[in-house]
Amino acid sequence: MAEKDEDKGFVIKDRRRFSDEEEKEPAREAAAESGAEKREEAAPDEADEAGREREADRGPFPEVTLATFVFSLSSSALVHLGEIPEPETNRTRVDLPLAKQIIDTLGMLQEKTKGNLDADEDRLLKSVLYDLRMRYVQKSGGK
């Protein structure tokens, strides 16, 4: 019997009773008094404006190509290797497991795209991987 109850899932029932708009008005007034309604209306506008300001500061994004993807991943690996500071905090820290995962991801990308890259893309991927692997070995002490 208990198994049957578990299989049914659950049902949510709204037991509030609103017969007309007059009964809903006190709840709205209480929300307005607490300022919740004003915050709900203001927050999306402020968030939209802040988002537009950040976009304007960044400028247009570069075209998405294999090269920009590889550079993006390599930048992340360099951050985790402690070679460049984190963009948001401007602090450098070393996180070798994350750096290794990104390097391994680039290696997997190289294997999966073998024979499908033009000469420049192939050369870029090889050189970035070589550089990151050497930096990783140096930071990890050859482990």
Percent of the chain with pLDDT over 90: 52
Query: What Rg do the C-alpha atoms of the chain give, in angstroms?
Result: 27
Instruction: Give the pLDDT score at 41.
Output: 47
- 111 and 51 co-located in one domain: no
Q: What is the dihedral of CA 101, 103, 107, 112, to 10 degrees?
A: 60
Instruction: Give the pLDDT score at 120.
Output: 96
Backbone angles phi, psi at 17, to 5 degrees: -120, 120
pLDDT surpassing 50 at residue 42:
no
CA-wise closest residue to 72 among 96, 95, 100, 102: 102
Domain presence at residue 42: yes
Domain presence at residue 5: no
pLDDT in tens, 49-68: 666 666 666 678 888 999 99
- 85 and 120 co-located in one domain: yes
Domain presence at residue 6: no
- Residue 27's pLDDT band, with cuts at 50, 70 and 90, is low
Domain presence at residue 115: yes
Which domain does 22 fall in, by range? 15-58
Q: 68, 62 in Cβ contact below 8 A?
A: yes
Dist CA 30 CA 32 (whole Å):
5
- 29 and 88 co-located in one domain: no
- 110 and 86 co-located in one domain: yes
- 40 and 78 co-located in one domain: no
Dist CA 95 CA 80 (whole Å):
5
Instruction: Give the pLDDT score at 137.
Output: 96
- 22 and 75 co-located in one domain: no
Domain presence at residue 118: yes
Instruction: Give the pLDDT score at 62.
Output: 80
Three-state SS string over 55-109 comes to HHHHCCCCCCCHHHHHHHHHHHHHHHCCCCCCCCCCCCCCCHHHHHHHHHHHHHH
Helix (H, G, I), strand (E, B) or coil at 22: helix
pLDDT in tens, 85-97: 998 899 999 999 9
- The answer, as to whether pTM is greater than 0.85, is no
pLDDT surpassing 70 at residue 72:
yes
Tell me the CA end-to-end span of the chain in Å, nearest whole number.
Answer: 57
Average pLDDT, the chain: 79
The tally of domains found in the chain comes to 2
Question: At a CB cut-off of 8 Å and minimum separation 6, what does 55 contact?
Answer: none
